[in-house]
Amino acid sequence: MKTRTLWFLSLPLVWLLSLLVLPFIGAEMLRPHEVFGDPGSSSATLFWVLRLPRVLAGMLTGAVLALAGLAVQALFRNPLATPFTLGTASGASLGASLYIWTGWSVSVLGLSGQTLFSFLGAAAALLFIYGLAWLKDNMAAETLLLAGVAIGIFFSSLILLLQYLSDQAHSLRILRWLMGGLEVVGYRDLLQSLPLALVGLVIIMFHGFELNLLSTGEELSQARGLDVPRVKLLILSGVGLMVGSVVALAGPVAFIGLMVPHVARLLLGPDHRRLTWAVLFLGATFLPVCDVLARLILAPAELPVGIITALLGGPFFIWVLTRKKT
């Protein structure tokens, strides 16, 4: 118990350390006196316009995808469930790919077209899932999970169709975006994604007790007085808001929602009232670290961070699939 408490208290400190250190690391290492000593220097511009926004975008994306993964794993009682399994990430990817394919450049109420289309795609995925469950008159976790897998496959096929119909430039842009990346400049894109992400984060963060109940089974949760359909709808809506917002920002970065919740459980145990906070800080640390690796491995060239997370996530997925429960 004491070890778990130490881990719980150390994760925010590790996150804070990463926030202070990571913006200085890259193909060109920066020194604090270069950044803060001369605000007009190239080092200061690199830090404030490129490095810091990129780290903050990675922290938001990592925290959101990790928390969304934790929520759907508890909801479906499936250790391999992720936001991608649910279909919301595929819906958000389809929306953003459709925006790229059209070649439009629009803004609605301060939101870029890509952010808006990504959010609408995630919302469409959730509506399809709810519709399929409603047709079966069944909101059971198994039904929602299978509906999410089916919707994800269908939307992924539509993305392939858009790539096939695109010219070479748009097809390459869609492919590059689908790899996932944090190539942000300035704070505009980050601020556009932040409001929707925060709404979803608040929904999940304040339902840790309900996630504990759902992870024990729906019948037992109902017996304890939980309004299971309402809570499931609320949690899925929160996941959709979060995923739609960050996929527009960074693309579909894979496996964060699988790896981080499992690592947090190994460190802290199964209580979601603690896990939600731990996953938040752990995800916000893990993805920016992966992004730094992506920028350094082939420096001065950069790998999309989604490649790094996929290379780590594949073996991790096999480990989760094959490990024996103790």
Q: Is residue 239 included in any domain, yes or no?
A: yes
Check residue 326 and give its pLDDT. Answer: 43
Check residue 212 and give its pLDDT. Answer: 92
Q: Is residue 279 included in any domain, yes or no?
A: yes
pLDDT band at 137 (very low <50, low <70, confident <90, very high): low
Mean predicted confidence (pLDDT) in 240-252: 86
CB 178 within 8 A of CB 247: no
The answer, yes or no, to whether the previous bond of 300 is cis (omega within 30 of 0) is yes
Burial class (CB in 10 A: 0-12, 13-18, 19+), 47: buried
Give the Cα separation of 188 and 171 in Å (integer): 25
Q: Is residue 62 included in any domain, yes or no?
A: yes
CA distances from 317 to 56, 119, 147, 254, 309 (A): 27, 27, 22, 11, 11
pLDDT at residue 249 greater than cutoff 50? yes
Decide which of 91 and 56 is more confident. Answer: 56
pLDDT at residue 312 greater than cutoff 60? yes
Q: What is the dihedral of CA 117, 123, 127, 129, to 10 degrees?
A: 110
Q: Is residue 325 included in any domain, yes or no?
A: no
pLDDT at residue 282 greater than cutoff 50? yes
pLDDT at residue 138 greater than cutoff 90? no
Choose from 82-91, 137-146, 165-174, 276-285 the range with maximum mean pLDDT. 276-285
pTM of the complete model beyond 0.85: yes
Alpha-carbon 272 to chain mean position: 18
**pLDDT tens for each residue of 146-155:** 888 888 889 9
pLDDT at residue 136 greater than cutoff 70? no
In DSSP terms, 107 is beta-bridged to 112
Give the Cα separation of 47 and 93 in Å (integer): 29
Mean predicted confidence (pLDDT) in 231-236: 87
Q: Is residue 290 included in any domain, yes or no?
A: yes
pLDDT at residue 236 greater than cutoff 90? no
**pLDDT tens for each residue of 174-207:** 888 888 888 887 898 898 889 889 999 999 999 9
In this predicted structure, which of 2-16, 64-78, 121-135, 273-287 has the lowest mean pLDDT? 121-135
Mean predicted confidence (pLDDT) in 145-174: 87
CA distances from 156 to 16, 92, 174, 238 (A): 37, 10, 12, 22
Check residue 201 and give its pLDDT. Answer: 94
Check residue 148 and give its pLDDT. Answer: 82
pLDDT at residue 237 greater than cutoff 90? no
Q: Is residue 245 included in any domain, yes or no?
A: yes
pLDDT band at 290 (very low <50, low <70, confident <90, very high): very high
Mean predicted confidence (pLDDT) in 5-21: 94
CATH number at residue 202: 1.10.3470.10
Check residue 84 and give its pLDDT. Answer: 80
Nearest Cα to Cα of residue 64 among 185, 199, 182: 199
Domain that holds residue 257: 2-320
Q: Is residue 173 included in any domain, yes or no?
A: yes
What's the mean pLDDT when you consider all of the chain? Answer: 87
Number of domain units in the chain? 1
Check residue 233 and give its pLDDT. Answer: 83
pLDDT at residue 160 greater than cutoff 80? yes
Q: Is residue 326 included in any domain, yes or no?
A: no
